[in-house]
Amino acid sequence: MANREDLIKELYSNMIGEEKKPVEDERRYHADTNSLTVGANLDSKVTSKRHEIGLEKEAYAEIMMGARNYFLTKDIGFMVGDVVAFRETSGFQLTGNDSLRTLAMVERNIEGIKDGYCIISWK
């Protein structure tokens, strides 16, 4: 049975569409910061965080159908390459439907948008 770190490596590879890479020292998950380290120098190169956003059924359906590929949200430190888990809700209850997206763009300081908010977009 695979250990937790191997499962996380496989999940991350599947999320970004990479094939499995057998190199043991290539990725390291940091549970305290919910981030992943990638590359030869694992102690200095944090590349990805995971964020969760709850969405009503209509907004969730738009994302799933590809009708929406952007989202206006409070800026909680999003960075290009971060993974966002969109979680479908019905009222205040989670429905159990989730969708993972890798951020391709984060726009801040946009005229007409309140300070502290940003627009995120994904692949």
Q: How far is CA 10 from the centre of its chain?
A: 15
43 with 54, same domain: the answer is no
In this structure, the answer to whether residues 30 and 58 fall within a common structural domain is no
Cβ atoms 69, 86 nearer than 8 A: no
Instruction: Calculate mean pLDDT across residues 1-23.
Output: 65
pLDDT at 9: 75
User: Based on the structure, what is the number of domains in the chain?
Assistant: 2
What is the pLDDT at residue 22? 46
Q: For the chain, what's the residue count? A: 123
Domain span including residue 17: 4-48
Q: Report whether pLDDT(42) > 60.
A: no
Q: What is the predicted pLDDT for the residue at 70?
A: 94
Per DSSP, helices labelled H in 1-123 are: 4-16, 57-65
What is the Cα–Cα distance from 112 to 101, expressed in whole angstroms?
A: 26
30 and 68 assigned to the same domain: no
In a shared domain, residues 69 and 117 = yes
- Same domain for 75 and 23, yes or no, is no
Q: Is 43 exposed, middle or buried (0-12, 13-18, 19+ CB in 10 A)?
A: exposed
Residues 57 and 112 both lie in one domain? yes
Q: What whole-number distance in Å separates Cα of residue 1 and Cα of residue 30?
A: 21
